[in-house]
Structure 1
Amino acid sequence: MNGEDTPLHADTGVTSGLFVERSLNEIRFWARIMKEHSLFLRLGFRAEDTQLIQEANQFYRIFEYIEQTAHSFNNQTDPEQIRRFNSEVQQAASNIFLFKRKVLGLILTCKLPGANNFPLLVDHTSREANYFRKRLIELNEGKLQSLPDAIIKENVFFLRIMADHAKFIGHLLDPSERKLVDLARNFSNDFDQLLYQARDLESMKPQSQTVPLLDQFLDQNRVSVVSLRDFKKTARDLIEQCKIKSIIHPLLADHVFREADRFLEIIDMFDTHLTHGTP
């Protein structure tokens, strides 16, 4: 069961070792993100929202446990044990997705007046929970998308995430930080344009799925993501050193930096596979 060359599914050629590695990588990253979402949502609730605060705290504990458990496994862990773990985590991701959508509904129907969670932020976090949930389902079912499909789909998802981040940063910086606010707005506009381009490429499938077009697509996105990642790193460092005025939690600044870094890793992985044909 633990052999690196054992096919997970005969029709995909995905080995059990690769299945374990990818599963743990996804869970270690996204469980921490879900845990932090729980904290950020709780901080945005009003003092009287005791039930919502309790639910957020419970999700924090659940994903903290999941994160710790994922780090207790390694790439030699029995694939069947990881498959069961994926199913448990997928259920937790589904539950926090439903919680976030419930909170979004309360905000949009004006039932949480005075709370501090932007509707777009709650929607943003729910999209990430749904992404995480679907990734675990795909891994357990051995359904890996073709490379061209995966490249476009992942970039559409993450470009919107990056655009959202820029908008949040711009709104959470103090208005007197005019230069940084302008920078954040410029990044928001840049990633909105990249997202539109990605959706255009998506609508032109399958004719648009040529190596030259996808290679240029990845290169263009990488340049902008590197710039945004570096901006986030600078903002994070300045916030931690109390050198700028904002209401951005230091952990949130690090949180959005890590997600940009994750996107860059995915772009580089796709570029390597596209160029060298590695699995």
Structure 2
Amino acid sequence: MTNGFVVRSLEEVRFWSRIMKEHSLFLKLGFRSEDTQLIQEANGFYAIFENIENKSHAYTFDVDPAVIKRFNEEVHQAVSHIWVFKRKVLGLILTCKLPGANNFPLLVDHVSREANYFRNRLAELNTGRLEPLPDAIIDENVFFLRIMADHAKFISHLLDPSERKLIEQANNFSQEFDQLLFQARDLESMRPQSQTLPLLDQFLDQNRVSVKSLRDFKKTARELIEACRIKSIIHPLLADHVFREAEHFLFIIDMFEHSLTGKPVPKMHPMD
């Protein structure tokens, strides 16, 4: 294992442990006051991932790779547990066991998909079995395009119904990313013949344009929410949360672009 393994591992854990911590808070806020057991479990996961996040920032990039491998295993176990929790909550909602709660089923499924993604990434890093670049480009984009499409839907449904213009914009982004996701899945099903440099390069360029637009929309929405200038039930932290995930996706696109064509990319993760 090399320093690259340590850097990649710590960057992933620093980003995703904060995301998992915030998922715990958002789920808790959506439970009913009588759901004391679920609230307690969510609080427990918040504490677990806050501790993981703090530990990840305490490590430096020159730490022994064996230490990080053990840390990844510890994090993997925690992520597996929160994934089980999220799927349990989804089951309760879909069987009408939590009437009146405020967590959308799609949101709970969404956060469980992110947990599964994080868990798989940790396993890949520890085994050294990362996907070949052409496969990674398609698979990562399929995953993140769906995440972005979900975000647009959540924003639309959490804005006050009177915010007609913003809802229209969010719905347009939802349709745009649904179309991009369909295109990505078409490219996926055409593998390996579709994995030519020109097609993959165009694929990344097209997605980047749309993700930047959505990122900017999220940034504006976050600023409006923080300034209390629009009507919504969107928590300010949720607005920042979805903005950071768009930034993360853009960083991944840029890294793929560099690996594919040698074009320059940012020197560090935008969240660092």
Q: TM-score range by the shorter chain?
A: over 0.9
Whichever residue aligns with residue 195 of structure 1, its letter is: L
Shift of 1:144: 1.1
- Post-superposition Cα deviations, 1:161-213, rounded to whole Å, max 9, x if no partner, equal 00000000000000100000000000000000000000000000000000000
Whichever residue aligns with residue 16 of structure 2, its letter is: W
Residue 83 of structure 2: aligned partner: 97
Task: Give yes or no for contact 2:257–2:263 (8 Å, CA) kept in 1.
Answer: no
**Alpha-carbon distance in 2 for matches of 1:113, 1:82:** 43
Of 163, 174, 184 in structure 1, the residue corresponding to residue 149 of structure 2 is 163
1:176 equivalenced with 2:168 (yes/no):
no
Residue 11 of structure 1: aligned partner: none
Residue 141 of structure 1: aligned partner: 127
Alignment length, in residue pairs? 264
**Alpha-carbon distance in 2 for matches of 1:55, 1:277:** 45
- Post-superposition Cα deviations, 1:255-279, rounded to whole Å, max 9, x if no partner, equal 000000000000000001100299x
**Alpha-carbon distance in 1 for matches of 2:20, 2:157:** 22
Q: Which TM-score applies when normalising by structure 1?
A: 0.94
- Post-superposition Cα deviations, 1:44-76, rounded to whole Å, max 9, x if no partner, equal 000000000000000000000000000000110
**Alpha-carbon distance in 2 for matches of 1:233, 1:183:** 14
**Alpha-carbon distance in 1 for matches of 2:120, 2:199:** 27
Residue 204 of structure 2: aligned partner: 218
Of 198, 202, 221 in structure 1, the residue corresponding to residue 184 of structure 2 is 198
- Extract unaligned runs of 5+ from structure 2: 265-272
Residue 25 of structure 1: aligned partner: 11
Q: Alignment RMSD, CA only?
A: 0.9
Residue 12 of structure 1: aligned partner: none
- Post-superposition Cα deviations, 1:137-168, rounded to whole Å, max 9, x if no partner, equal 00000011110000000000000000000000
**Alpha-carbon distance in 2 for matches of 1:252, 1:154:** 23
Whichever residue aligns with residue 112 of structure 2, its letter is: S
Of 235, 242, 255 in structure 2, the residue corresponding to residue 249 of structure 1 is 235
**Alpha-carbon distance in 1 for matches of 2:190, 2:163:** 41
Residue 36 of structure 2: aligned partner: 50
**Alpha-carbon distance in 2 for matches of 1:33, 1:276:** 30
Residue 52 of structure 2: aligned partner: 66
Structure 2 counterpart SS, 1:229: helix
Of 168, 185, 189 in structure 1, the residue corresponding to residue 171 of structure 2 is 185
Whichever residue aligns with residue 131 of structure 2, its letter is: Q
Structure 1 counterpart SS, 2:96: coil
- Extract unaligned runs of 5+ from structure 1: 1-7, 9-15
Q: Which TM-score applies when normalising by structure 2?
A: 0.96
Of 212, 222, 231 in structure 2, the residue corresponding to residue 236 of structure 1 is 222
**Alpha-carbon distance in 1 for matches of 2:263, 2:147:** 28
**Alpha-carbon distance in 2 for matches of 1:147, 1:116:** 40
Structure 1 counterpart SS, 2:240: helix
